[in-house]
Amino acid sequence: MTDITAVDAWEVLDSRGNPTVRVRVDAGDATGQFTVPAGASTGAHEAVERRDGGDRYGGRGVREACAAVRDDLAPVVVGWSVTDQVGVDEALVDCDGTENLSTLGANAVLGVSGAVAHAAADATDRPLYDVLAPDSGPGAMPMPMINVLSGGLHAAADLPIQDFLAVPVGADTYPEALETVWEVRRAAGARIGSGEHPPPVADEGGFIPPVADADAAFELLVDAIRDAGYDPGREVAIAVDVAATHFYDADRDRYDLAGETLDRAAMIDRVVEWVDAYPVRSVEDPLAEDDWTGWERLADRIGDRVQLLGDDLLATNAGRLDRAVDAGAANAALIKPNQAGTITRTRRVVDAAQAADWAPVVSARSGETCDATIADLAVGLDAGQIKIGSLARSERLAKYNRLLGIDRAYDGDFAGCDALAPW
Mean pLDDT lowest for which of 189-198, 303-312, 348-357, 388-397?
A: 189-198
Give, in words, the CATH class of 6-126.
Answer: alpha beta
Give the tens place of pLDDT for each residue, 247-267. 999 999 999 998 899 999 999
- Asked if residue 371 lies in contact with residue 37, where contact means CB atoms within 8 angstroms, the answer is yes
Fold annotation for 143-419: TIM Barrel (3.20.20)
Above 80 in pLDDT, residue 152? no
- Asked if residue 46 lies in contact with residue 245, where contact means CB atoms within 8 angstroms, the answer is no
Give the tens place of pLDDT for each residue, 195-212. 677 788 988 999 999 888
- Asked if residue 135 lies in contact with residue 120, where contact means CB atoms within 8 angstroms, the answer is no
- Per DSSP, helices labelled H in 97-213 are 106-124, 128-132, 174-192
Above 80 in pLDDT, residue 54? yes
Beta bridge partners of 255: 248, 262
State the pLDDT at residue 155.
60
Looking at residues 101-117, what average pLDDT do you find? 98
Identity of residue 328: G
Q: For residues 221 and 187, what is the distance between their CA atoms, to the nearest angstrom?
A: 9
Residue 153: pLDDT band with limits 50, 70, 90: confident
H/E stretch holding 374: helix 373-380
State the pLDDT at residue 195.
65
Report, as residue numbers or ranges, the catalytic residues: 204, 336
Strands (DSSP E) along 286-414, which ranges?
A: 307-310, 332-335, 359-363, 385-387
Dihedral of alpha carbons 108, 109, 114, 116, sign = positive
State the pLDDT at residue 123.
98
Residue 157: pLDDT band with limits 50, 70, 90: low
H/E stretch holding 22: strand 19-27
Mean pLDDT lowest for which of 127-141, 201-215, 321-335?
A: 201-215
DSSP string, 228-291: TT--BTTTBEEEEE--GGGGEETTTTEEEETTEEE-HHHHHHHHHHHHHHS-EEEEE--S-TT-
Residue 156: pLDDT band with limits 50, 70, 90: low
Above 80 in pLDDT, residue 392? yes
H/E stretch holding 30: strand 30-35
State the pLDDT at residue 183.
98
State the pLDDT at residue 304.
97
State the pLDDT at residue 423.
75
Going by C-alpha positions, the residue among 191, 257, 180 that lies closest to residue 224 is: 191
Q: For residues 248 and 261, what is the distance between their CA atoms, to the nearest angstrom?
A: 10
Q: For residues 3 and 8, what is the distance between their CA atoms, to the nearest angstrom?
A: 15
Q: For residues 6 and 28, what is the distance between their CA atoms, to the nearest angstrom?
A: 9
State the pLDDT at residue 408.
97
Q: What percent of the chain has pLDDT over 70?
A: 98
Question: Mean pLDDT across the chain, nearest whole number?
Answer: 95
Above 70 in pLDDT, residue 41? no
Q: Write out the binding residues for (2R)-2-phosphoglycerate.
A: 162, 336, 365-366, 387
Q: Write out the binding residues.
A: 162, 241, 284, 311, 336, 365-366, 387
Give the tens place of pLDDT for each residue, 332-366. 999 999 999 999 999 999 999 999 999 999 999 98
Above 70 in pLDDT, residue 127? yes
Domain locations along the chain:
6-126, 143-419
Rounded to a whole number of angstroms, the distance between the first and last alpha carbons of the chain is 41
Above 80 in pLDDT, residue 284? yes
* Burial status of residue 406 (CB atoms within 10 A of its CB: 0-12, 13-18, 19 or more): buried
Proportion of the chain in helix, strand, coil states, percent, rounded to 5: 40, 20, 40
- Per DSSP, helices labelled H in 58-105 are 63-68, 74-77, 85-96
Q: Write out the binding residues for Mg(2+).
A: 241, 284, 311
Looking at residues 97-104, what average pLDDT do you find? 97
